Amino acid sequence: MASHILYGVPHSLYTGKTRAYLRKQGIAYVERTPVDPHFREQVVPRIGRGIIPVVVTPGGELVQDTVDILDHFEAQGVRASARPPGARQRVLAHVAELYAVVGLTRHAMHYRWSYLDEQRAFLTDAFTGGSGPDGAAKVMARMQSYLPMLGVTPETIPAIEASYLALLDLIEAHLVHHPYLFGAQASLGDYGLLGPLFAHLGRDPVPADLMRRRAPRVARWVERMNAPDADMPEYGDHPPGYLADDAVPDTLLPLFRHMAEELIPELRDKAAWLESFVAEADPQEGAPVADKPHQRVIGTVDTSFRGVPFASGVQPYTFFLWQRVTDAADALPRDGQKSLHAWFEKAGLSSLLELPRAIRVERGGYVERWGRRLTSAP
């Protein structure tokens, strides 16, 4: 069987998510780093920027961005779909996917770069392997420069660390009963959370030691997500697949409340910023969200993390992921929407479905693009 090529690196958040998915689905692939000449000479010119992960299919098609990569294979049919059949499970999987990028990336970047001195040898070796000896220092410096934009500041760090410990405890409590979020099959939510919980928080020496000591079941879940099968012998006769009847375990309610407490204030502020931006800039449907393909941030907004103020970079990709939540909710039949709204209200997530956004964000040509204007709440 012809293999796909996965361009990525072991310490990359999004590569980790993609790699785990390919393994779980039994999709044949070989992994190459961005220093591979073919990546520089053939892939980058077609995509327009150096970015990972990228999957090259046996037929030569390029798929970039983890959302697009997983959607690509889901559309073809895989042995263990990451899309739960249940309405609530499916939408909540997208919420976890959103939280992993908007919220958990902050924890991941903090524990990687704020503790650089304690793990410098490990990270230098990792970045040298992925960027070459000449490029490692530059890439590391660039990554560190993103911390303020992500909300990692001296003022927010105590809240970030308290939040992360609470998050570990909540996931740990859930994993006492179930090997994955919604039963015995990995969902889009599991793969989303794995990105930061593996590549940064589960591999870098300081946070990996913290995870193993405080949350051994979470550390075991990280292993399980990277296995080529369900890998859940400690759960005995736990029924395979997703939980029946769209069941959402009680242990997930406090976990998603935690997510809501961190997501909603920031998304509310960014939605207000987007409304002003659209009114002033008048973006045209189909146009790239930024002037250059590598530009991910288009502005700054004053917001807060657990009550601590900071200035956050506004990434249109955030709205693209948020949109996946509302699109999945809107696609449900009336009964499914009623059940979902009731659960969202208990979890403090209702604002995700109710906050108005001024415009859609789509993806095309390997970048985010402006979609149609929205005149009412999504």
Q: What pLDDT, on the 0 to 100 scale, is given for residue 164? A: 98
Q: What pLDDT, on the 0 to 100 scale, is given for residue 336? A: 84
Q: Which of residues 76, 105, 130 is at a domain's end?
A: 76
Within-domain flag for 157: yes
Structural domains of the chain, count: 2
Shared-domain flag, residues 99 and 239: yes
**With bands split at pLDDT 50, 70 and 90, how would you rate the model's confidence at 377?**
very low
**Whole-number percent of the chain with pLDDT over 70:** 99
Q: Are 129 and 139 in contact (CB under 8 A)?
A: no
Q: Give per-residue pLDDT as tens, 96-128.
A: 999 999 999 999 999 999 999 999 999 999 999
* CB half-sphere exposure, 279, CA atoms < 13 A: 8
pTM for this prediction: 0.96
**With bands split at pLDDT 50, 70 and 90, how would you rate the model's confidence at 129?**
confident
Q: Give per-residue pLDDT as tens, 239-296.
A: 999 999 999 999 999 999 999 999 999 999 999 999 999 999 999 999 999 988 888 8
Q: Residue 90: what residue type?
A: R
Within-domain flag for 378: no
With 0-12 CB in 10 A as exposed, 13-18 as middle and 19+ as buried, what is 176?
Answer: exposed
Q: Give per-residue pLDDT as tens, 216-233.
A: 999 999 999 999 999 999
Q: Which of residues 76, 107, 126 is at a domain's end?
A: 76
Within-domain flag for 293: yes
Q: Are 239 and 249 in contact (CB under 8 A)?
A: no
Q: Give per-residue pLDDT as tens, 58-94.
A: 999 999 999 999 999 999 999 999 999 999 999 999 9
Shared-domain flag, residues 62 and 116: no
Q: Where are the alpha helices (DSSP H) in 35-150?
A: 37-38, 44-47, 66-76, 87-99, 105-113, 120-145, 147-150
Q: How far apart are CA 224 and CA 234, in angstroms?
A: 11
Domain that includes residue 113, residue range? 87-373
Shared-domain flag, residues 65 and 97: no
Shared-domain flag, residues 39 and 94: no
Q: Which of residues 26, 42, 76 is at a domain's end?
A: 76
* Res 165 pLDDT > 80: yes
Q: Residue 252: what residue type?
A: L
Shared-domain flag, residues 112 and 43: no
Within-domain flag for 267: yes
* Res 48 pLDDT > 90: yes
Shared-domain flag, residues 27 and 100: no
